[in-house]
Amino acid sequence: DSGVTQTPKHLITATGQRVTLRCSPRSGDLSVYWYQQSLDQGLQFLIQYYNGEERAKGNILERFSAQQFPDLHSELNLSSLELGDSALYFCASSAQTLGELFFGEGSRLTVL
Amino acid sequence: KNEVEQSPQNLTAQEGEFITINCSYSVGISALHWLQQHPGGGIVSLFMLSSGKKKHGRLIATINIQEKHSSLHITASHPRDSAVYICAVEDTDKLIFGTGTRLQVFP
């Protein structure tokens, strides 16, 4: 058990819809990262938050947004969903900005 | 060309064999991570290193910063080592991932 909790584990929705994925980092970790893993693209970095502030941005679409709350949990919002958004979405946390990463079990999103 | 290249892409081994997975990168990095992804999808961090060598149980990771190359070695491989092994490099504040090496160890 990494100590990182992601919900939901599985989500099936339709094109055009909006979903929110939630991540609770390990106790005491200030950094939260979001990654997308699709079959054709592999793992891709989406966005990082550190202590409530956006720290780094990767290949995150404009339809996606994220935030980190004062209690350090984070949410990834995916809107106007397309079939190609079907993927595993991982959250990871670390004590500082990068360093050893602890991954959640992922949220598997299926867009039909 | 990908910034992080792993080889081989697929690897099969008999139980007990010594295994090496290689990772080459083309960007300047501050550190390199080796991750293990189980068939169920979960990802575990194995190593984070910025120089030299680290060992944890039967796993050894080495990095050569000058040559921009890292290796992950598994000694006395076991079927439970079957997984995808992913190399990732820290480039400023983000990780760039390799495409992974799928390892199957047969009894």
- What is residue A52's DSSP assignment? T
Closest by alpha carbon to B103, among B33, B20, B28?
B20
Residue A14 has pLDDT above 80, yes or no: yes
**Chain A contact present for B41, CB below 8 A:** yes
Question: Is the minimum CB–CB distance between A28 and chain B shorter than 8 Å?
Answer: no
Encode pLDDT of A26-85 as tens digits. Answer: 999 999 999 999 987 789 999 999 999 999 999 899 999 999 999 999 999 999 999 999
Number of alpha carbons in the 13 Å side-chain half-sphere of residue A64:
17
Interface touch B93/A97, C-beta < 8 Å: yes
Contacts of B84 in chain A (CB under 8 A): none
User: B44–A42: do the CB atoms touch at under 8 Å?
Assistant: no
CA atoms of A23 and A45, how far apart (whole Å): 15
Count CA atoms closer than 13 A to B94's CA, side-chain side.
19
Question: If contacts are CB pairs under 8 Å, which of residues 59-88 in chain A contact chain B?
Answer: 88
Instruction: Kindly report the number of other CB atoms within 10 A of residue B53's CB atom.
Output: 12
Q: What is the pLDDT of residue A81?
A: 97
Residue B94 reports pLDDT greater than 90: no
Residue A5 at interface with chain B, using a CB cutoff of 8 Å:
no
- Give how far Cα B13 sits from Cα of A5, A22, A57, A94, B107, Å: 34, 38, 39, 33, 9
User: In which residue are the tokens 């007990």 written?
Assistant: B16
Residue B28 has pLDDT above 90, yes or no: no
Q: Does A38 touch chain B (CB under 8 A)?
A: no
The CA distance from B99 to the nearest CA of chain A, in Å, is 6
Confidence tier at B97 by pLDDT (50, 70, 90): very high
Average pLDDT over residues A101-107: 94
pLDDT over 90 at B85, yes or no = yes
A108 part of contact set with chain B, CB < 8 Å: yes
Closest among A56, A92, A35, A49 to B92, alpha carbons compared: A56
Looking at CA atoms only, how far is residue A51 from chain B in angstroms?
14
Q: Which residues of B touch A58 (CB under 8 A)?
A: 94
Decide if B100 and A97 are in contact by the 8 Å CB cutoff: no
Per-residue confidence (pLDDT) for residue B1, from 0 to 100: 63
> What's the Cα-to-Cα distance from A17 to each of A23, A35, A63, B31, B73, rounded to whole Å?
20, 20, 11, 38, 44
- Give the tokens for residue B68: 């921009």
Q: pLDDT tier at A92 (50, 70, 90 boundaries)? A: very high
Say if the Cβ atoms of B86 and A108 lie within 8 Å. no
Give the C-alpha separation, A57 to A33, whole Å: 10
Q: What pLDDT, on a 0 to 100 scale, did the predictor assign at position B91? A: 83
